[in-house]
Chains A and B, each alone.
Chain A
Amino acid sequence: MAFNSLADFFAMGGYGFYVWLAYGISFLGLLVLIINTLIKRKKILKAVNQRIAREERIKKAKNREGML
């Protein structure tokens, strides 16, 4: 291992701020992208689902009208 202690590891030989800044922002960026992709999928499926439900309601309402 390249470091003797946990404090050593976080200090990164004095470059801790720059190293963790680079890693932190990079993973934040990737995380935002992953979450955005997952949310998009959910939204699309929800929209399709809502349309199906709406079509069902219209169909039912039309049937009821026919019975009256």
Chain B
Amino acid sequence: MWKWLHPYAKPERSYQLAGKLLPWFVVLTIVTFVIGLLWGLLFAPADYQQGDSFRIIYIHVPAAMMAMGAYASMAIAAFVALVWQIRLAEMTVAATAPVGAVFTFIALFTGAAWGKPMWGAWWVWDARLTSELILLFVYLGIIALYNAFSDKILAGRAASILTLVGVINLPVIHYSVVWWNTLHQGATISKFDKPSMAVEMLWPLLIMIVAFAALLGALTLMRFRNEILTRESHRPWVRQLVLNNIKMTGKN
């Protein structure tokens, strides 16, 4: 049943598959970013309490959601890498971590820029904010650990283990607004109920969530391809790829 999947354990096949998927992700990213930003910044009505400052959510919420989504997918890849010893899964972990780290930083920074006018403070040690900050440190830890070993097989294993340890933080972030009396507001759209948000504001937000998801996909694919090339740089197929590249572009 899963036989069709087997050839993709070969780095060359995975590299080609990632290359085929990449243009679709890039196009989807550009289209959804343009539509989502224009809609969110120009056409969505101002909030009756927060005025136009609420427009920050069009990057804050998608970045925060995808920062956690990236971590969840990394954790799955790390599990696969450790249990079935699949090197490509380790490369996925290494490829995703920097993207997740930047998304987490964006979520924290945009949250601060919104918090200053709305709460009156750039930062408070609220459970949601603190757990999100820990997520950023976990991301940085994974990246640092992966780069600390010159032996990439060891590096991949160590980074995978740390990724799995850090999973404990995901439910803490998600339920922080429920478990503790936080200043950060509760869920608006990710709950089993009607979203408590006007449709004119909700649509651009949903489009921006797709945009960040597509961007996460595109960047992960690009970095995944980089990882494969680095680790396989001595293989004949990479050599052939570089030679073909020279032939196509005509420069040395």
Which residue numbers of A lie inside 8 Å of B, CB to CB? 1-3, 9, 12-15, 18-19, 21-23, 25-26, 29-30, 32-34, 36-38, 40-41, 44-45, 47-49, 51-53
Contacts and interface: CB of A to CB of B under 8 A. Distances in A.
A41 B222 contact: yes
A34 B219 contact: yes
Contacts of B157: none
A1 B106 CA distance: 27
**9 closest Cβ pairs, A-B complex:** A13-B52, A15-B53, A22-B113, A12-B52, A22-B110, A13-B51, A26-B106, A22-B56, A48-B242
Interface of B: 41-46, 51-53, 55-56, 59-60, 63, 98-99, 102, 105-106, 109-110, 113-114, 116-117, 215, 219, 222-223, 225-226, 229-230, 233, 238-239, 242-243, 245-246, 252
Contacts of A44: 226, 229-230, 233
A45 B168 CA distance: 38
Contacts of B52: 2, 12-15, 19
A1 B39 CA distance: 9
B243 A52 contact: yes
Given A9-B42, A22-B60, A37 B55 contact: no
16 contacts: A3-B42, A9-B42, A12-B51, A12-B55, A18-B113, A19-B53, A22-B59, A22-B109, A23-B59, A26-B109, A26-B110, A37-B222, A41-B225, A41-B229, A44-B226, A47-B233
A18 B53 contact: yes
Contacts of B56: 18-19, 22-23
A50 to B, nearest CB: 10
Contacts of B242: 45, 48-49, 52
Contact of B59 (A26, A32, A40): A26
Given A21-B113, A23-B59, A41-B226, A29 B42 contact: no
A37 B218 CA distance: 11
Contacts of B223: 37, 40
A34 B109 CA distance: 19
Contact of A1 (B42, B102, B222): B42
A49 to B, nearest CB: 5
Contacts of B59: 22-23, 26
Contacts of A29: 102, 105-106, 109
Nearest to B239: A52
Contacts of B53: 12-13, 15, 18-19
Contacts of A23: 56, 59
Contacts of B113: 18-19, 21-22, 25
A44 to B, nearest CB: 5
B120 to A, nearest CB: 12
Given A19-B53, A26-B106, A38-B222, 19 more contacts: A1-B42, A2-B43, A2-B46, A14-B52, A15-B117, A18-B117, A19-B55, A23-B56, A25-B106, A29-B106, A33-B98, A33-B99, A34-B219, A36-B98, A37-B222, A41-B222, A45-B242, A51-B233, A52-B243
